[in-house]
Structure 1
Amino acid sequence: MSPSRERYVIDEHVWYQAWPASVQSMAMWADLTRRGADLLGSTTPAGARLSATSQFFRHLRRDMVQAAEHWRRTVSAST
């Protein structure tokens, strides 16, 4: 008796479609760390770290949005 095989099909655009969830996650982390920085005060060591972390997530989110748009334009141009 041979082992059964299973097949999985992944949409060719699955990663592009999943990207908005990651972008949303970056926005959530940016907001959460900003609120923590506000709560602790940006002059405290923990508040300063949270503020820097919030800036990082905002920057990463912006880059992710730009990368998705660049990919969309690249794919559109090649079809």
Structure 2
Amino acid sequence: MPHPDPAPEEISQFVEHFAGVLANSGVPTMSARVIGRMLVSPTGTLTSAELAESLRISQPAVSGAVRQLLQVGFITRERIPGSRKDHYRIRDDVFPAILERRNSALAEWESTSRSGAELFGLDTPVGRRLCEAADYFAFIHRDLEQLIRSWRVDHPR
């Protein structure tokens, strides 16, 4: 028995809840809403006008979010034959891509913490605190990197 399609209001509630979860983890709010909406699009593509209408936001808000998502490579722009409008497609691997960006940040946090530990001296309270932070960031970075690699091996596109 096929699953019934959710009602438009249920879809909107899901998108807003999903976007809130992404926003709480550091994804800009409008970008999180666009990701959430594109994720539940049957085709994975939407135009700016469709995004604005379905999210009930202004065209400039959509434009800013789309520009940011294009810059970080979470969505792509494409033309559909016969259409003069740009269509935006969410990457199939958007979540590994998000975590890869986060993992790059962890490497920077580690490097910055280590340089701070050296600046203040490893034998000082500040230096020890920064060294422990650097060790933690290195640990998480290594494990997350391995998890992402394993995911890609197990789930090739």
Q: TM-score range by the shorter chain?
A: 0.7 to 0.9
Q: Which whole-Å CA distance do the structure 2 matches of 1:36 and 1:17 have between them?
A: 29
Q: Which whole-Å CA distance do the structure 1 matches of 2:114 and 2:96 have between them?
A: 28
Q: Which residue of 2 aligns with 1:9?
A: 38
- CA deviation digits over 1:26-70, x for unaligned, max 9? 001001100110000000011001001101101111111000011
TM-score, structure 2 length as denominator? 0.43
Question: Runs of 4+ in structure 1 displaced over 6 angstroms?
Answer: none
Q: Which has the higher helix share?
A: 1
Give unpaired runs (5+ residues) of structure 2: 1-11, 13-33, 40-89
Asked if 1:45 corresponds to 2:74, the answer is no
Cα RMSD (Å): 1.9
Give unpaired runs (5+ residues) of structure 1: none
TM-score, structure 1 length as denominator? 0.81
| Superposition map of 1:19-34 within 5 A | 19-34=99-114
Overall identity of the aligned pairs, in %? 26
Q: Which residue of 2 aligns with 1:65?
A: 145
Q: Which whole-Å CA distance do the structure 2 matches of 1:64 and 1:71 have between them?
A: 10
Q: Which has the higher strand share?
A: 2
